[in-house]
Amino acid sequence: MGVTSSAAHLGFLVTLGLSVVLLVAALVTAKLHKVKAHIGVVAAMVVALLATIYFAEAVGRHYYIDANMQRIHLPLAFLAAGTLLAPLTTGFLHWRGRVGVKAHKISVGIWGVLLLLALGTGALMLMASKPHESFAPGEGFVPPGESLTTPPRETPTPTPSPN
Ligand code: HEM
């Protein structure tokens, strides 16, 4: 059974807020050179980010997603998720004394830019999409069970009334 619309929205807002707070805490603990706290907060942030992705997906299931925005958002979201490995790896290597802090900072910067782009385009995509209850068939929207490559459905032409 899927998550209800309100539970998905609430879960998304809570986990997104938590992720942002933990990201700020990761930056603050790093600046203060509190390494153990930094690593702990980063671990919690990764879990919060995974939960955010889960709830974002659950929210999306209650919308007819705008196909054009989805084409822009999805690659950025996958890039942001994938490049999270860069700050995690360089952070670990810096901790073990294998790379300088500069490599870690650069990877944090690259990931941060992609994360902002993913969040921004995700918000724009949701704004351009329609909740299921307000659906009016139209081009650019992907009904459930159909993919981006499904050709648009033909709109039935109204049959003229006999009189
Ligand atoms: C997305 C995850 C991460 C972010 C956003 C992040 C962010 C940062 C930033 C911005 C700095 C530089 C602070 C400064 O000197 O101005 C830093 C330093 C550092 N990070 Fe990370 N980091 C992350 C993951 C990790 C991980 C996974 C580890 C280790 C397992 C780690 C270990 C360290 C260490 C040892 C330092 C140096 C702290 C010091 O100067 O005393 N980081 N991190």
- The alpha carbon of 39 and the centre of ligand 1 are apart by a number of angstroms equal to 8
Does 59 contact ligand 1 (Cβ within 6 A)? no
Predicted TM-score (pTM) of the model is 0.85
The sign of the CA dihedral 87, 119, 18, 49 is: negative
Q: Ligand 1 atom closest to Cα of 108? A: 5
Single-letter amino acid, residue 103:
A
Query: Are the CB atoms for 54 and 106 separated by under 8 Å?
Result: no
Burial class (CB in 10 A: 0-12, 13-18, 19+), 31: exposed
- The alpha carbon of 33 and the centre of ligand 1 are apart by a number of angstroms equal to 9
In the prediction, which pLDDT does 39 show? Answer: 98
Note the pLDDT tens digit of each residue in 112-154: 999 999 999 999 999 999 888 765 555 556 666 665 555 555 6
For the chain (length 163 residues), average pLDDT per consecutive 10? 88 98 98 98 98 96 93 97 98 98 98 98 95 63 59 65 68
User: What is the chain's Cα-based Rg?
Assistant: 21
DSSP 62: T
